[in-house]
Chain A
Amino acid sequence: MSAASRSAVDAPAAVQATSLCKSFGGVPALRDASLTLRPGTVHALVGANGAGKSTFVKILAGLEKPDAGEVKVRGERVIIATPDRARQLGLNFIHQELNLVPRFTVLQNMALGYSLPTRAGLVSWSAVRRRARSVLARFDSSLSLDADVSTLSVSDRWMTSLGRSLMHEPQAIAMDEPTASFTVEEAERLYGVIHTLTSSGVGVLYISHRLDEVLELSDEITVFRNGEVVGRHHRGDLDRTELTESIVGRRVRDLRHYQSEAIGISSDHHPAEAHPPVLSAQNLKAGKRVVNATFDLRRGEILGIAGLVGSGRTELARALAGADPLTSGSMLLDGRTYSPHSPRDAIARGVALVPEERRSEALVLDESIDFNINLATMRQNRMRRWAPLLSPSRARSAAREYVDSLSIKSASTKQDVAHLSGGNQQKVVLARFLRTNPRVLILDEPTVGVDVGARAEIYELVKSQTSRGTAVLLISSDFEELEICDRVAVMREGRITTILPANKAGTNTLTALCYHHEEEQ
């Protein structure tokens, strides 16, 4: 890599972005961000959730339009209006969702978007196959061109996606968290492939939360914080602690110090200790993303879960609420064994999940507020306990009660939820699950896309629930939001690694703990 990168210094940059700015609804997501990707080098983008990395990459990919700033590809100023244009310019993106067609073979997937060679008007598959084979040969892949991609491992699928990018002879490839779900061996294989790519002059934009791999792989590192570029570093300029500090934006002393202190305090002084745990989880394992989670959730407490995207928080929440099966581990709910087989089971036992994706997982969009609020509690609206007939007036008055108490702004409870604002939609979902009278309420990113006013109201609501004894598990990427918690658990690569009391769970500490994943082993 080094020979290639040295000779590349004089060549024009593969991609040069200057002073890119972007705001969403008046809130700046990216301010004055500049970056130069040289051919034949690996350039890492690092930063906490919401630091601006993804916005930056989306601009290059033609998915977002910058408000200001310019992009040059090989020295020429370009406007990347569409993803198609990005591809024409030789910029390729391997997102976390790989966009493969599951029933297609590796070859068919690689041929997607490739202008197929034809013979006498018919696609010449033998020419496509030759091209694909030579592409795969470049990174010595053991992939079979005729394998159905749905039978492949995550890393082989990733390689298929990479193969598809290489069909076009790209100038630059951006990789978004490629190793998030890779095993150690698979990651090693990827590092080899990246080396091959850079030796042939391709520039690699590498986005990752794994700082060790970033330090190992990258020729250059650009650090994002709060939408700004706050650091540009070269290979060997800095070590892990310095990089962490650059991301967090503050001196991080001894991380282990925080942890031991945290454990000490949480077991001695926390007021909620007086209560026995409502939900107690031991060594939970679920799917690939939840590796080991142990925690107690106490009556009337708000336990936050902090973690980076992909750390397994949502998967943990889903397993707790019966939406996904548990692989191993055990749970006690009010001292009795709890192993929900379905969300129905969980709700019956008093565990309710307000899911992450409001529109796709929570709302029936073309139904009314009334319908949506009553969805989980229809049986409460029966006219007589013994008859299956439901009373619409009971449903309506229940809905109206929640509309009033949560101040959901609407013309009537008959209105479709599709047209409500994000905040009001979220309140409708909250109302639905509050009506199930949960002992444990799990909130997954409850304020995403919710305006400031409604956000405060939702926090108030959560607080008032806890005063009635409900235990709340709050997942949030917005670490400031976690200030309403009594304790905050940090989740990293599928494990709950630390549980901090509120007074220790500052944004900086949490960010540092989310990244810190090596020393303790």
Chain B
Amino acid sequence: MTTVHNKTLSEKSHKRRDFDPWSLIARYGAIALLIAMIVVFATTLPAFATFGNAVNILDQIALPAVVAMGLTIVLSTGEFDLSVGYQTSLAGVICVGLMQNQGWPIPLALAATILAMAAIGAVNGLLVAYFGIPSLVATLGVGTVVVGLNFAYTKGVPISLSDPTAFVNLSLGRLLGLPLPVFLMLGVAVVLWVMLNRTSVGLSAQAVGGNAEAARLSGIPVKRVRLLVFIIASLCCAVAGFFLASRTGGGSTNAGDGFLLSAFAAAFFGSAVLRDGKFHIVGTLIGVLTVGVAFNAMAIAGSDTSLQYLFQGALLIVGVGVGVLARRRSLA
């Protein structure tokens, strides 16, 4: 025992960590990759390096980013939420349906959508925190139920607004030359960053993710925290689904399903950024941006859609792999 302790005396080990190449690769590799991609694309693709395209990329990643950041909060507690994509789809369908079928005004439809999604998040949270069902299984089950609800409501047919102008203008609208969804993304980023790093709820979530029993014995209400993070993820799905529907002025049954993979890829890739293997908002944003830049370049270059999936899958694996390696090294 004592020999081990002598060897890992504080200052020494602190220094050693800074020189750990894996840790360096993990911390700055992702950013380096992003910068390298931007440089390469800017020099090879003339249409890439324009202000308009930059705005376009930001607009493209805004909604996936919102879902990914919500997911990040869940991941920080050590849980998974596999239902985020389906929830995003359902959110779009519900708000359009309420406007079209019930004739509700936009704010009221949005409020109802937010409440409905919060309820679904609460179901996820209750199953995981209070019934002890592993989150992977619970959220997969709830996600499947959500798909069922979606089809029951729409009969599988997309709902379109007869007069979509006001609704569509939400997505088309610009402020200071930037589309509104970009402001939404930034707003959610600020709120969630502050919550995760500057409130006791967020720090509790991180403690639960780091060592749930230690958190409990330190007086943290572990169950309540778990419940809350699932509700937060669902709220993100609600606003993302709302804006996604406003892009087309209609609710499609599977419009947001793809957000599941992009959110996981971004969050895991981002977890390796700057902080060894811990999920955090800035990392997730960098992850989303990396995916967005790559997709955009692929689209400009006219490459096959299959490449997009290959890239996203690879990113997820690299993110997890580097994160795991960095963590193992730093705890060794």
Chain A: residues with CB nearer than 8 A to chain B?
24-27, 321, 323, 342-344, 346-348, 353, 355, 360-367, 371, 374-376, 378-379, 388-390, 392, 409-412, 415-416, 418-424, 432-433, 436, 449, 451
**A25 with B3: CB separation less than 8 A:** yes
- Stretch of B194-202, B226-234, B283-291 lying at the A interface: B194-202
Alpha-carbon distance A264/B198, docked complex (angstroms):
55
- B-side contacts of A348, CB under 8 Å: 219
**B198 with A389: CB separation less than 8 A:** yes
Please name 21 pairs of A and B residues whose Cβ atoms are closer than 8 Å in the assembled complex, sorted by A.
A25-B1, A323-B217, A343-B217, A347-B218, A353-B217, A361-B214, A364-B211, A364-B215, A365-B331, A366-B210, A366-B331, A375-B207, A375-B218, A389-B198, A409-B10, A410-B14, A411-B11, A419-B17, A420-B8, A421-B9, A421-B10
Chain B: CB-nearest residue to A323: B217
Chain B: CB-nearest residue to A376: B218
- B-side contacts of A342, CB under 8 Å: 216, 219, 221
Given known contacts A388-B200, A389-B199, is B331 in contact with A418 (CB within 8 Å)?
A: yes
Most buried by A among B3, B13, B217: B217
- B-side contacts of A415, CB under 8 Å: 10, 14
- B-side contacts of A371, CB under 8 Å: 203, 206-207
Other A-B contacts than A342-B219, A375-B218, 8 sampled, CB-CB below 8 A, are A27-B2, A360-B211, A366-B276, A366-B330, A375-B203, A375-B220, A421-B8, A432-B218
- A-side contacts of B1, CB under 8 Å: 24-25, 422, 449
**B211 with A26: CB separation less than 8 A:** no
Alpha-carbon distance A415/B317, docked complex (angstroms):
29
**A344 with B213: CB separation less than 8 A:** no
8 Å CB contact of B5 from A323, A362, A392, A421: A421
B77: Cβ under 8 A from any A Cβ:
no
B327: Cβ under 8 A from any A Cβ:
yes
- B-side contacts of A26, CB under 8 Å: 2
Most buried by A among B214, B218, B220, B221: B218
Chain B: CB-nearest residue to A378: B200
**A363 with B220: CB separation less than 8 A:** no
Interface size on B, residues (CB 8 A): 38
- A-side contacts of B204, CB under 8 Å: 378
**B214 with A419: CB separation less than 8 A:** no
Q: How far is the CB of B129 from chain A (nearest CB, A)?
A: 13
Chain A: CB-nearest residue to B200: A378
8 Å CB contact of A379 from B200, B214, B277: B200
- A-side contacts of B206, CB under 8 Å: 364, 367, 371
Alpha-carbon distance A437/B199, docked complex (angstroms):
21
- B-side contacts of A419, CB under 8 Å: 8, 10, 13-14, 17
Chain B: residues with CB nearer than 8 A to chain A?
1-3, 5-6, 8-11, 13-14, 17, 194, 198-201, 203-204, 206-207, 210-211, 213-221, 276-278, 327, 330-331
Alpha-carbon distance A44/B301, docked complex (angstroms):
79
Alpha-carbon distance A412/B17, docked complex (angstroms):
14
Alpha-carbon distance A266/B217, docked complex (angstroms):
33
- A-side contacts of B276, CB under 8 Å: 366
8 Å CB contact of A389 from B14, B17, B194, B214: B194
Alpha-carbon distance A161/B327, docked complex (angstroms):
36
**B331 with A388: CB separation less than 8 A:** no
Q: How far is the CB of A457 from chain B (nearest CB, A)?
A: 15
Alpha-carbon distance A360/B201, docked complex (angstroms):
22
8 Å CB contact of B219 from A27, A363, A376: A376
Alpha-carbon distance A344/B215, docked complex (angstroms):
10
Given known contacts A390-B199, A415-B14, is B214 in contact with A363 (CB within 8 Å)?
A: yes
Q: How far is the CB of B50 from chain A (nearest CB, A)?
A: 39
Alpha-carbon distance A410/B66, docked complex (angstroms):
38
**B200 with A390: CB separation less than 8 A:** yes
Q: How far is the CB of A303 from chain B (nearest CB, A)?
A: 21
Q: How far is the CB of B302 from chain A (nearest CB, A)?
A: 44
**A451 with B210: CB separation less than 8 A:** no
**B11 with A365: CB separation less than 8 A:** no
- A-side contacts of B9, CB under 8 Å: 409, 421
- B-side contacts of A355, CB under 8 Å: 217
- B-side contacts of A367, CB under 8 Å: 206-207, 210
Chain B: CB-nearest residue to A346: B219
**A361 with B213: CB separation less than 8 A:** yes
List the 6 shortest-distance A-B pairs measured between CB atoms, nearest first: A364-B210, A25-B2, A421-B5, A378-B200, A419-B13, A347-B219
**B200 with A362: CB separation less than 8 A:** no
Chain A: CB-nearest residue to B275: A366
Q: How far is the CB of B266 from chain A (nearest CB, A)?
A: 21
8 Å CB contact of B213 from A360, A376, A412, A449: A360
Alpha-carbon distance A411/B278, docked complex (angstroms):
22
Q: How far is the CB of A430 from chain B (nearest CB, A)?
A: 13
Alpha-carbon distance A390/B196, docked complex (angstroms):
11
- B-side contacts of A390, CB under 8 Å: 198-200, 203
Alpha-carbon distance A360/B3, docked complex (angstroms):
21
Alpha-carbon distance A411/B11, docked complex (angstroms):
5
Chain B: CB-nearest residue to A410: B10
Alpha-carbon distance A371/B327, docked complex (angstroms):
18
**A344 with B220: CB separation less than 8 A:** yes
**A364 with B331: CB separation less than 8 A:** no
- A-side contacts of B201, CB under 8 Å: 388
8 Å CB contact of A375 from B17, B215, B331: B215
